[in-house]
Structure formats: structure tokens, C-alpha cells
């Protein structure tokens, strides 16, 4: 088929970055069958996220991941990121040339992960719009955009890493609760002499993002109205178009090889089960896995735990056998479907943004055990601002505290209050994606901006 326009999509192939970008592109592609979307991503990540049913007007291209030819997999997540960033943007430019030849139409707009700040220059050179998808929450973007003010509010740089991380900052971005250094993304406190590749990337992003045509988020304005209003003043367009998890989920769910949903189906009592998952990157340290397993075994609430196979080996001897009647441990679970299942009453999570949104969309309160990046701030917002869950005490799982927090959230007034609040938040999200809702309007604006309004 001949296409009248062509959009280049540049993915960041780590954590849960590329999947939400693909979800946005799917929605756009459905709205404009005459536009071709070329999706540039590494081969491994394409394999992981592309299902058979990608729209005909989305074409995926593999770009180099930067690993030396024939080398074994990168030693760490951070090393893989470093190699990939070193190969960018050359890897993407090569892909874009190939895609333009194949489509016979030049790329007229770039949609990229916000981390890929060099898209500002790629787009400027071609005189085309640059739309950046920020894959985390607006509150996390706000703290990055106020990096200078936050850093100034820390009396001495040593405090950012030292014993004063509990210090409450004298500056707070509009709409956020009072913050401690410990609540913030460590990348904000960049070491200028030796920045990590991710910190340097985020720093560049903060500088370039105001040049974008639009910043897009998988979120809804009503979750943090003051933050959204403030960020609108910082960008040409600031468009929350989610949550994507409220769209109709395909049936049957893909990736339910372990039969999680039929297991939930058999539970007699609504909201009786705990779902546990720490996203796509994190494996908690062994002592915490043990503490959490012992707490689940002690409490005897039905539980479903998505845990990578290698990590499951660290579970206590005999745990799976002893808990078989009321618990399941699986290597992967269809999370958005699970969180919308009526049998689930609590989500134990690392506080990744997609997980939080999916929990809101399911009306399920959370217990957060944040690990890195935006997760600490998300956990703080869950507990202090949105009041839809709590963080684990002292930031780590210990058996006795974990037993207490699970019991409080599953069978006390505190859990009921969090559930009421999360259901109210879900209603706001539903309104946002409904007719005339803020996210629906923002999505229409996005279609206009990228030149494919119907
Ligand atoms: C990074 O994200 P993560 O992958 O660590 O975590 P989430 O944002 O919560 O996304 C996890 C996704 O993986 C899905 C789940 C979410 O959409 O539904 N999933 C699943 O379907 N089945 C499973 O068994 C386990 C997970 C980063 F670590 C976070 O801090 C950021 O907030 C995030 C966005 O930038 O990226």
C-alpha cells in the first residue's frame, strides 16, 4: 500500500520503555491507516514486545545495540545501556535511511522516548516535529525539570549521597509534597566529573526537552493537576493521553502460559489475593525474597507472585510445596489482566510507573518497595499524596514488618481507605479517557500536531 505520510519512532530498549511507546504508536496507527510508522528498536527488544497482531502500517526495524560483534551479553543492565547509547544516534540514522527507501516517503515526524534527547537535533536538521514520550509519571519529570533548583536547595553536594539524605529540601516543585533527597532520582544529583551514562542522558534530556514539539505521557492530568499545569508552562505542548491500561484488553490475554487467570477465577472471595511483581528489571536481594516469602507463608492470604525463574531458586526450601494450596509463583504473569481481576485485593510492587497505573486501573491498593530511578518518588506519591497505598518500613522487606503491612492492608480500615481512594482515582482516570475527557482531548491534539488528524 502507498502511504501519504511516514513517522519515525525511536525506542529506548530497556526496562518498560519500549512497550508503552509501541502502545502509543498502535493507537496512532489505528487512527491513521494512511500513515506508515517505522519503529526502530534493538532486535532483542523487538522480539520481546512485538506480537503477531501489530497493525499493517507499523513496520519494525532492528537497530544495532552497540554490543561488539559476537560478544557475550553485556555484564549488567547499566553496561548494556552504556553500549547502546554509545551506538546512538548512528544506529537510528542508518535505520531511518533504510525505512525511507522502503516506504518511498520521507520521515515527516519523529516520535521518540524522551531519553533519546539527540532526536531534538535529528528533527531540527530535517525541520520536522519531535514528539517525546516520557514513560514515567509527571511528578518524576517535574523533579528532573527542576534539577537546578533542587540541587541549589542541597547545601553541600556531599549531602546528596551522604548521611543527610533524610533532609527535607527547602525547594519543592509546584504540586509535590515536601521532599527529602532520599525520595528523589539519584540522577538529579549528577557528578559532573564522572556522570553515569544514564545521568548524562537525563541531563541532556532536561536541556533539550523544551525544544520538543510536544511531550506526551501515559498518564492523566487529574492525578497531579498542579504538576500538569506547571509542566504545560515549560513545554510547547504537554499532553497526558493515558492511562493506556484502561483500554479494552485483548482476550484471551497473551502470556498466560501459567494459567494465572484461571487460578484467580477459582478463588471464592473477591479481593482476597495478593499479587506480587517487581517489574521487568529488578530482582530483590535474596534476604528480602526470603523475608517476603516467609511473610506470605505466615499470613496465608492467597498469593500470585511473578518472579523470574533464576530468582525463584532463592525461595525457602519447601516453600512452593507448603504454599501450593493458596499460592502460585510464576515466571511471568499477564499483569494488567490480573490487576483488573476482582479476586486481587493488594499489589506488592517496586513502584514502576506502568505498574502503578495498572494498579489504579484495577482499583487495587499497593505496598511499594522501591528500588531505583523514579520508584522512590512514586512510592512517596502513592503513600503521601494519592493515599492509595504504603511503602514498606525502612525501604526493605523484613519478615515481621512485612507480615504487619500485609495484614493491615488486607484486613484493616487502613487497607479499606486506600482501596476507596484508589477506586476514586480510577474513576478520574476513566473520565479522562472518556468522551471529552482530558486525555481524549490531548490525544486529538497529538494527532493534529503530528499531522494525521482525521
Ligand atoms: C522501568 O520499568 P519496570 O519494567 O521496572 O516497571 P513498570 O514500569 O512497572 O513496568 C512493568 C511492566 O511489565 C509488565 C507490567 C508492566 O506493564 O504489566 N509485567 C507483566 O506484564 N508481567 C509480569 O510478570 C511482570 C511485569 C523502570 F524500572 C521504572 O522505574 C519506570 O517507572 C518505568 C517507566 O519508565 O520503566
Q: How many Å lie between the centroid of ligand 1 and the Cα of residue 52?
A: 21
CA 420 to the chain's CA centroid: 24
The chain-wide mean pLDDT, for the chain, equals 94
Q: Check whether residue 205 and residue 354 sit in a common domain.
A: no
Q: How many Å lie between the centroid of ligand 1 and the Cα of residue 279?
A: 4
Ligand 1 atom with the shortest distance to the CA of 140:
32
Which grid coordinates belong to 177?
509534597
Judge whether 29 and 55 are in contact, CB under 8 Å: yes
Q: Check whether residue 423 and residue 440 sit in a common domain.
A: no
Provide ipTM, 2 decimals.
Answer: 0.99
pLDDT of residue 255: 76
pLDDT of residue 389: 98
Candidate from 202, 216, 219, 279 with most ligand 1 atoms within 8 A of CB, to mutate: 279
- One DSSP character per residue, 211-232 reads GSSEEEESS-GGGSHHHHHHHH
pLDDT of residue 292: 98
Q: Give the chain's domain count.
A: 2
How many other C-beta atoms lie within 10 A of the C-beta of residue 46? 19
Which grid coordinates belong to 231?
509542566
Which grid coordinates belong to 18?
519500549
Q: Residue of the nearest CA to atom 2 in ligand 1?
A: 16
pLDDT of residue 168: 87
Which grid coordinates belong to 179?
521532599
Instruction: Report percent pLDDT > 90 for the chain.
Output: 86
- Measured from CB, residues less than 6 Å from any atom of ligand 1 are 15-17, 135-136, 277, 279-282, 306, 332-336, 352-355, 358, 373-375
What kind and span of H or E run contains 11?
none
Q: Residue of the nearest CA to atom 13 in ligand 1?
A: 279
pLDDT of residue 195: 80
Q: Check whether residue 235 and residue 277 sit in a common domain.
A: no
How many other C-beta atoms lie within 10 A of the C-beta of residue 391? 20
Q: Which residues are catalytic?
A: 17, 113
Candidate from 12, 15, 16, 335 with most ligand 1 atoms within 8 A of CB, to mutate: 16
Q: Check whether residue 412 and residue 442 sit in a common domain.
A: no
Q: How many Å lie between the centroid of ligand 1 and the Cα of residue 97?
A: 31
What pLDDT, in 10s, does the model give residues 49-72? 997 667 899 999 999 999 988 777
Judge whether 189 and 161 are in contact, CB under 8 Å: yes
Judge whether 137 and 374 are in contact, CB under 8 Å: yes
How many other C-beta atoms lie within 10 A of the C-beta of residue 142? 22
pLDDT of residue 158: 57
pLDDT of residue 452: 75
Q: Check whether residue 307 and residue 370 sit in a common domain.
A: yes
DSSP code for 4:
S
Q: Check whether residue 394 and residue 439 sit in a common domain.
A: no
Q: How many Å lie between the centroid of ligand 1 and the Cα of residue 86?
A: 24
pLDDT of residue 191: 72
Q: Check whether residue 193 and residue 283 sit in a common domain.
A: no
Judge whether 398 and 193 are in contact, CB under 8 Å: no
What pLDDT, in 10s, does the model give residues 254-305? 778 899 999 999 999 999 999 999 999 999 999 999 999 999 999 999 999 9
What pLDDT, in 10s, does the model give residues 99-156? 999 999 999 999 999 999 999 999 999 999 999 999 999 999 999 999 999 999 986 6
CATH number at residue 357: 3.40.50.2000
Q: Check whether residue 38 and residue 181 sit in a common domain.
A: yes
Q: Check whether residue 187 and residue 275 sit in a common domain.
A: no
Q: Residue of the nearest CA to atom 7 in ligand 1?
A: 352
Q: What are the DSSP E strand ranges found in 308-388?
A: 327-330, 344-349, 366-368
Ligand 1 atom with the shortest distance to the CA of 137:
32
Candidate from 23, 134, 354 with most ligand 1 atoms within 8 A of CB, to mutate: 354
Name the 3-class secondary structure at 61: strand
Which of 95, 335, 356, 334 lies closest to 217, judged by CA? 356
Ligand 1 atom with the shortest distance to the CA of 372:
30
pLDDT of residue 166: 77
Which of the four pLDDT bands, split at 50, 70 and 90, describes residue 189? Answer: confident
Q: Whole domain around residue 385: which residue ranges?
A: 260-431
Which of the four pLDDT bands, split at 50, 70 and 90, describes residue 162? Answer: low
Report CA-CA distances (Å) from 114 to 129, 216, 230, 276: 14, 9, 18, 29
Q: Check whether residue 22 and residue 88 sit in a common domain.
A: yes
User: Where is average pLDDT lowest: 195-204, 225-234, 426-435?
Assistant: 195-204
Amino acid at each position: 500500500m502507498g502511504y501519504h505520510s511516514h513517522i519515525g519512532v525511536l525506542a529506548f530498549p530497556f526496562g518498560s520503555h519500549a512497550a508503552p511507546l509501541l502502545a502509543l504508536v498502535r493507537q496512532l496507527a489505528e487512527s491513521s491507516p494512511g500513515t506508515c510508522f517505522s519503529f526502530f528498536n534493538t532486535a532483542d527488544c523487538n522480539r520481546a514486545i512485538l506480537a503477531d497482531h501489530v497493525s499493517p502500517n507499523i513496520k519494525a526495524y532492528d537497530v544495532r545495540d552497540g554490543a561488539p560483534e559476537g560478544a557475550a551479553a553485556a555484564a549488567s543492565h547499566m553496561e548494556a545501556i552504556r553500549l547502546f547509547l554509545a551506538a546512538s544516534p548512528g544506529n537510528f540514522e542508518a535505520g531511518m535511511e533504510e525505512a525511507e527507501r522502503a516506504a518511498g516517503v520521507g520521515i515527516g515526524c519523529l516520535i521518540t522516548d524522551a531519553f533519546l534527547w539527540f532526536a531534538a537535533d535529528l528533527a531540527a536538521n530535517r525541520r520536522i516535529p519531535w514528539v517525546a514520550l516520557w514513560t514515567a509519571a509527571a511528578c518524576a519529570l517535574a523533579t528532573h525539570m527542576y534539577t537546578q533548583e533542587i540541587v541549589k536547595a542541597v547545601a553541600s553536594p556531599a549531602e546528596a549521597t551522604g548521611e543527610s539524605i533524610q533532609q527535607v529540601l527547602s525547594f519543592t516543585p509546584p504540586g509535590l509534597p515536601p521532599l527529602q533527597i532520599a525520595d528523589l532520582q539519584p540522577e538529579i544529583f549528577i557528578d559532573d566529573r564522572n556522570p553515569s551514562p544514564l545521568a548524562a542522558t537525563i541531563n541532556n534530556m532536561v536541556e533539550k526537552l523544551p525544544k520538543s514539539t510536544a511531550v506526551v505521557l501515559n498518564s492523566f492530568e487529574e492525578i497531579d493537576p498542579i504538576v500538569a499545569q506547571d509542566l504545560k508552562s515549560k513545554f510547547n505542548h504537554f499532553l497526558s493521553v493515558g492511562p493506556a491500561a484502561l483500554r479494552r484488553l485483548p482476550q484471551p490475554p497473551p502470556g498466560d502460559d501459567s494459567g494465572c487467570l484461571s487460578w484467580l477465577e477459582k478463588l471464592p472471595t473477591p479481593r482476597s489475593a495478593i499479587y506480587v511483581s517487581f517489574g521487568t528489571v529488578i530482582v530483590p536481594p535474596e534476604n528480602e525474597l526470603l523475608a517476603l516469602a516467609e511473610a506470605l507463608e505466615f499470613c496465608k492470604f492467597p498469593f500470585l507472585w511473578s518472579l523470574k525463574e533464576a530468582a525463584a531458586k532463592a525461595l525457602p526450601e519447601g516453600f512452593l510445596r507448603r504454599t501450593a494450596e493458596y499460592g502460585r509463583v510464576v515466571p511471568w504473569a499477564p499483569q494488567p489482566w490480573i490487576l483488573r481481576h476482582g479476586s486481587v485485593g493488594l499489589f506488592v510492587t517496586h513502584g514502576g510507573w506502568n505498574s502503578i497505573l495498572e494498579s489504579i486501573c484495577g482499583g487495587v491498593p499497593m505496598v511499594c518497595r522501591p528500588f531505583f530511578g523514579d520508584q522512590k518518588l512514586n512510592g512517596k506519591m502513592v503513600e503521601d499524596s494519592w493515599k492509595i497505598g504504603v511503602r514498606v518500613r525502612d525501604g526493605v522487606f523484613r519478615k515481621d514488618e512485612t507480615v504487619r503491612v500485609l495484614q493491615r492492608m488486607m484486613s484493616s480500615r487502613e487497607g479499606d481507605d486506600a482501596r476507596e481512594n484508589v477506586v476514586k482515582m480510577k474513576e478520574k482516570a476513566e473520565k479522562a479517557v472518556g468522551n471529552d475527557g482530558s486525555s481524549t482531548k490531548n490525544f486529538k491534539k497529538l494527532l493534529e500536531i503530528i499531522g494525521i488528524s482525521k
